[in-house]
Amino acid sequence: MKRKLLGMLLTVSMTATILAGCGGSAPAPAGTADSSAQDTQTADTAEEPAKDSETADTQDASADTGNAGSGDSTLTVWTWDPNFNIYSITEAEKIYQKENPDFKLEIVETPWEDMQTNLGTILGSGNLSQLPDILLMQDFAFQKYAITYPDMFTDLTGSGIDFSKFGPGKLGESTVDGKNLGVPFDAGTEVACYRKDILEQAGYTVEDLTDIDWDKFIEIGKDVKAKTGYSLFSTQAGSADFIMQMVQSAGGKIWKDDGTPDFVGNEILVKSLETYKELFDTGVMDTGNSWDEYIATFTSGKTLGTINGCWIIASVQADETQSGLWSLTNMPKLSGISSATNYSNQGGSTWVITSNCKNVELASDFFAKTFAGSNELYDTILPGCAAISCWTPAASSSVYSEPIEFFGGEKIYSKIADFGAKVPAFERGVYFTEANTAIATAATNIVNGADIDKELEAAEETVNFNMGN
């Protein structure tokens, strides 16, 4: 019964994702994505996911790509982000081909939102033959998929991949009942990247934004905006990810000891939401209504920075004409919170070999000799796309201490490694997606003027309902 409930909830989350991409009917604050699609769906609705013509086309395409890797040395892959994930696995393919020249990856660019839609239909139908050989899974969603649909994953515990070379915190994201169900890929250590040339126009340097709290950040940000017209940083609208980053930075939590949501009266969560609203109201924080719009805010818009997981560096570096103009430091900490730090984590992902893989031995060997066994790979993708390794031997490479021209010669990877060691622990839980969605809805309403306490009460009630409490 529990698995059935989780399955319905997973489908609900994916349905919400589809709607979020299309837009809903409830009003949203100026510059903020419509989050009405994140409202709770009923279990009856979740039993049969809607399949409009656009979704049907997506599923037909996914079925074709899922069966494309029938060749003995060809594996199909679903992943997203050409500048980061696709680049990294393509470099891994090149390395593996040195000893296995017939090996080939058929990589299908699949945005995370689309992948959830595809998986929701495939797993809901029980026809796992439509899955690719390999896919990339966001760490925050891994446990939910693994617990709800264990038949989706290949158990890699005895595959020959040396999992002892990965840190226990990262490895825990893809371990269920002692079984290794994925190959850890990248870390998501929080970084703050700023255009130092624009800061200097307002009379500031990146040092002024280092090791500070959000009150000081907002004070500086208002002055910078008044003098230059630029906001200090941006976030993606309609998402609670940044709020969760602030909660984690202070060592906060969103779950009680009994596993139920801990929203109402949660000092750190309340402070994070208050800070988020002030950042929005003052214009110190800008927003993008989609991922592409968010990226554009700091690459070609009126925002001079971004605060996110270190994987965002790949997007920052995409415009080579800006080389030398950027600098990197840590994030601000929550003001007035004794446990607050300037460090957090956002994202990170893990490779999965699905149960539909046509050649598990080949796929396992590929990962054992690349993402779980190749210094050459990490020495390539670190400067190439800022993929910070979770494979511990890679951290000893001299590449980590090399100056990066794009960031004015700063040794940014040494900084990130130092930041990563200071990140407070944060328990996402199986129902993290439900919590994230509920808090995102609350945040949108709060920005519109709603009462924080009442919104957190509603969010907590929603998550408890989704959990069957």
- The residue assigned the tokens 């996402």 is 428
Q: CB-based contacts of 264: which residues, under 8 Å, 6+ apart?
A: 453, 456, 457, 460
pLDDT, residue 245, reads: 95
Whether 65-187+347-393 and 190-345+425-467 share one fold: the answer is yes
What distance in Å separates the CA atoms of residue 132 and residue 181, rounded to the nearest whole number?
16
All residue ranges of the chain with pLDDT < 70 are: 1-71, 169
What predicted TM-score, i.e. pTM, was given to this entire model?
0.70
Which residue ranges make up each domain of the chain? 65-187+347-393, 190-345+425-467
Q: CB-based contacts of 179: which residues, under 8 Å, 6+ apart?
A: 155, 157
pLDDT, residue 73, reads: 94
pLDDT, residue 102, reads: 97
Q: Encode pLDDT of 172-205 as tens digits.
A: 789 888 999 999 998 888 999 999 999 999 999 9
What is 190-345+425-467's CATH number?
Answer: 3.40.190.10
Q: CB-based contacts of 267: which residues, under 8 Å, 6+ apart?
A: 337
pLDDT, residue 391, reads: 87
What distance in Å separates the CA atoms of residue 65 and residue 158, rounded to the nearest whole number?
28
Q: Which fold has domain 65-187+347-393?
A: D-Maltodextrin-Binding Protein; domain 2 (3.40.190)
- The residue assigned the tokens 């430091």 is 329
